[in-house]
Structure 1
Amino acid sequence: MGDMWTGERVRLRGVEPEDWEGFRDLARNTHDVRDADMVEPPRSAEGFRSWTAERARRPPGGEVFRLVIEVLADGAFAGSVTVGETDSRAGRFRTGIEVSRAHRRRGYAAEATELVLTYMFAEQRHHKCEVEVYAFNDASLALYRRLGFVEEGRLRQHEFFAGTHHDVVLLGITAAEYWATHPRPSVR
C-alpha cells in the first residue's frame, strides 16, 4: 500500500477544526472517559471548538501528537490515537487510543494502533512502546495483549477516582516483538 497511514478499515489523519464534535462525543460518557483518563467537568461547545482548533494548528509529528481515526468506508470520525512520553535516548514511547461507542468491535482500535507502531518503530527508530491501562478496563487489556503487548507490572492502588483507588497495568512491546508478527513497510 502506498500510504502508511491507511489500513484496510481506517486512516489516521491530522486533527481538523471540524473534528470538535467527535471529540465532544468521546467526552460525553463518563464510563468511557474513565477507561482512558480522569473525569473532568463538562466543557462547553466553544471549549471543544477552541481545543480542537489549537490541536489542528500544531505541526505534525514531534514528541507528542494526536491523530484522528477516520473510517475508510464513510469518512466518519471514529476516535483518536495519541503518542506521548517519548524518550529518544532510550527509544521508548507511550500510546493511547479512544474509539467512540458507535465504532467499537470493528477492528479500528487494533488497526490504528498497528499503524502508529509501524510508524514509530520503522520511521522514528523507537525500540519499545508502553501503555498504561486501568486494571478494570478488560477490553483495552485484551486489545493490547492480542497485539502482542506483554504485561510488565502493576501499580497497585495507583489512581483515585469513583471513590476508591485503582490499579494500573503496565504493558509493553518491543520493535523486535512487533516485527515478528507484522511485515515491515517497503521502501516502494
Structure 2
Amino acid sequence: MSNQLFEGEQLKLRALNDSDIPTILKWYENADFLNFFSAEAAIPKQAHEFKKWTEASNSNEFRFAVRLKETDELIGMIEIDGVLWNHRTAWISMAIGDKENWSKGYGTEMLTLALRYAFSELNLYRLQLTVFEFNERAVALYEKLGFKQEGTYREFLEREGKRYDMFLYGLLRHEYHAR
C-alpha cells in the first residue's frame, strides 16, 4: 500500500465530478448493482439528481470517486457521511459499479484507503455500515478488515419474493489499529 493518503497500489480516491455522472447513471440501470447497493425500489436516475448529490457537500460528508491508477477509469464510489463530530462517529458506504470489476481486490483496497482516511485524517473513533445478508462478498470483506457484526435488522427487505436481513457492522479505532 502506498503511503499517499489517496492512493493505493491499483486505485486512487478523487473528487466526483460532472464527467462521472454518465458512468454512474449506467450503474443505476443495472439491477445487480442496485440490489447490492440500495434497499430502495430500483429506478433509473437522472443526471440532475447526481449533479445535486455531487455538489451537496458539507463538513459531515466525504465522498470519493474510486479510479484505476493506470487508466483513470471510474470504477466505484466510497462515502463517509453522517459524521457526528462530538462523538467522532460516522457511516461508510461503498460501491463498485460494473460487475467486471468485482472480485478483483478493488473493494479491499478502496475500503482500506477510506479507513486510513477516516481514522488518520478525520480522527474518527467509530465507523459503521449496513449490508444485506445476501451480499456475501461484502460481508466477507468487512469482516476481513476488522468490522464486527453488531446487530441484525430482521427480514428488512424483500427481493424476488424472499425476505432478507440487513446487518449492522461497526469498526472502532483501536480495532482498526490492531489489524
What's the TM-score, normalizing by structure 2? 0.89
Distance 1:154 1:57 in 2: 33
- For 2:28, the equivalent position in structure 1 comes to 27
Partner of 2:104: 106
Give the drift of 1:161. 4.7
How far did residue 54 of structure 1 move? 3.0
Q: What is the deviation of 1:58?
A: 4.3
Superposed, 1:65-80 pairs within 5 Å as 65-80=62-77
| Cα distance in 2 for residues equivalent to 1:28 and 1:135 | 22
Aligned to 1:143: 141
Q: Does residue 14 in structure 1 map to residue 12 in structure 2?
A: no
User: Is the 2:17–2:54 Cα contact (8 Å) retained in structure 1?
Assistant: yes
Q: Does the 8 Å contact 2:25/2:44 carry over to 1?
A: no
The CA deviation string for residues 108-132 of structure 1, in whole angstroms up to 9 with x for no partner, is 1111111111111112121111110
Quote the sequence identity (%): 21
Pick one of 112, 115, 118 that aligns with 2:116.
Answer: 118
Equivalent residues of 1:153, 1:171 under 8 A apart? yes
Match of 1:184 in 2: none
Does 104-113 or 4-13 show the bigger shift?
104-113
- Stretches of structure 1 that go unaligned for 5 or more consecutive residues are 182-188
Residue number in structure 2 paired with 1:169: 167
Q: Determine if contact 1:26/1:98 at 8 Å carries over to the other structure.
A: no
Which secondary structure state, in structure 2, belongs to the residue aligned with residue 142 of structure 1? helix
Q: Which of 16, 38, 41 is equivalent to 1:39?
A: 41
Name the aligned partner's letter for residue 35 of structure 1. Answer: F
Which amino acid is 1:17 matched to? D
Matched, 1:5 2:6: yes
With over 3 angstroms needed to count, the CA separation of the structure-2 counterparts of 1:139 and 1:67, relative to structure 1, is same
* SS state at 1:3 partner: coil
CA distance in 1, matches of 2:75, 2:23: 8
Q: Contact 1:5–1:115 (CA<8 Å) still a contact in 2?
A: yes
SS in structure 2 at match of 1:155:
strand
The residue identity in structure 2 corresponding to 1:6 is E
1:56 is displaced (CA, Å) by 4.2
- The Cα RMSD (Å) is 1.8
- 1:186 match: none
1:154 correspondence with 2:156: no
Are 2:92 and 1:84 aligned?
no
Runs of 4+ in 1 over 6 A off after TM superposition: none
- In 1, the alpha carbon distance for the partners of 2:114 and 2:178 equals 16
CA contact (8 A) 2:130 2:167 kept: yes
Q: Is there any run of 5+ residues in structure 2 with no aligned partner, and where?
A: none
What is the count of residue pairs matched by the alignment? 176
Q: State the SS of the aligned residue for 1:177.
A: helix
1:57-87 CA distance string (max 9 Å, x none):
345x621232110001211110101112222
Query: How far did 1:164 drift?
Result: 4.6
1:34 Cα deviation after fit:
1.3
* Partner Cα distance (1:107, 1:172) in 2: 21
